[in-house]
Amino acid sequence: MRPTPKRLGHKKSRNGCVQCKARHVKLDVGTQSGCREAYFTKKPVTITCHPSPPRGDPAEDQSWRSPTAWLQSLQLLYHYDTVVSDVLSHERSTSQVWKGLIPKMAFSHEFLMHGLLAVSALHYAQHHPGQRKEYILVSSHYQNLALNMFAVKLQDINEEKIEPYIYLATFIFILSLCSIPERQDSPSPVTPTPLVEQDQPQALPAKQTGAFHDRMDQLYALARGLSPTLDAINEKSSCLLAIESPRTIHSSCCTDRSPSRARRIWLWPISLTHIFLELLSSSHYVALIILAHYAALAKPFENKHWMNQDWSASVIASVERALEDKWQEWIAWPKRSIEQEINLDEMSP
């Protein structure tokens, strides 16, 4: 029995003219036209080329193939350079950071560039209602890319490389501020008149006692009703800490008359324990009530910047939807302060 002959080697070409490929004519790269048959018959040829895309994440490959996505990225970069950086540079001391340092650094750190484009896309969405849904999705896409790359590179962070990660964290914080769900009765962006501007010292009275602190005492009593556990940091202690922090912030803002005092307001989210954040995620009634009171505290420090525009009203609306009916009376006080723009210390607790 004769052995079966081995199959001769064959190299399949993916290049060549459409006509020869349809006729299965072998490619001759030595000819001028690239196809031997077309070269000798002098037929016009249509060359097709299929370059291999760069390897990596499938989402990145798809983006690489799409000229529209590439042009959209350039558009968002231009929007950041001409509009968003001006909005973020409301203080002279940080102008060069937003306008020069961060964009320059983003060209060397892809995750930071994704964060920059995510912020730019969200700003564009809020100021172009007709394209709002599209650019919110674009912003979410870039945010996911930034966070995924951040997670991969997290183990390589050191003191020399930490700066771009800090800037990315700032972008993520801005995105979280802007992503608060809008009120159901106000689907379109509105520009509220702030209770007070940041540079006006009469925003809160210069005293460490008053209606707000009395109200915090009531929240203390509510939180003490939670069942404690043997853990040092538990649901009860986390809620008590979340109540104490607004007390301190309120007192600091009362005594500090500088324009930069508004920064103190945003220290509260940083002080929260992981357990308290989990309580918020699960719509725990005490955590939601505390959040509603913090929103009322932050209301006087809202300004015309798009980042925290109508932030307090959006938060109180979200809390109201998530809270059970039997706990609604606990948020009537902060809700009235926000909706009627009443100073917290001028209200009866």
Same domain, 224 and 148: no
Same domain, 283 and 245: yes
Any alpha helices (H) in the chain, and if so which ranges? 18-22, 36-41, 58-65, 67-79, 85-88, 95-96, 102-106, 110-127, 132-153, 162-178, 211-224, 235-255, 268-271, 274-281, 285-298, 311-322, 332-340
In the chain, the number of structural domains is 3
Mean pLDDT of 42-60: 45
Same domain, 140 and 225: no
Same domain, 66 and 89: yes
Closest CA to 309 of 150, 192, 221: 192
Q: Which residue has the higher pLDDT, 21 or 344?
A: 344
pLDDT tens by residue, 274-285:
999 999 999 999
- The pTM of the full predicted model, rounded to 2 decimals, is 0.58
Is 7 a member of any domain? no
pLDDT bracket for residue 211 (50, 70, 90): confident
Final residue of a structural domain among 143, 162, 178: 178
Any idea what DSSP says for residue 48?
Answer: E
Question: What range does the domain containing 93 cover?
Answer: 60-178
Q: Which residue has the higher pLDDT, 46 or 287?
A: 287
Same domain, 43 and 81: no
Is 194 a member of any domain? no
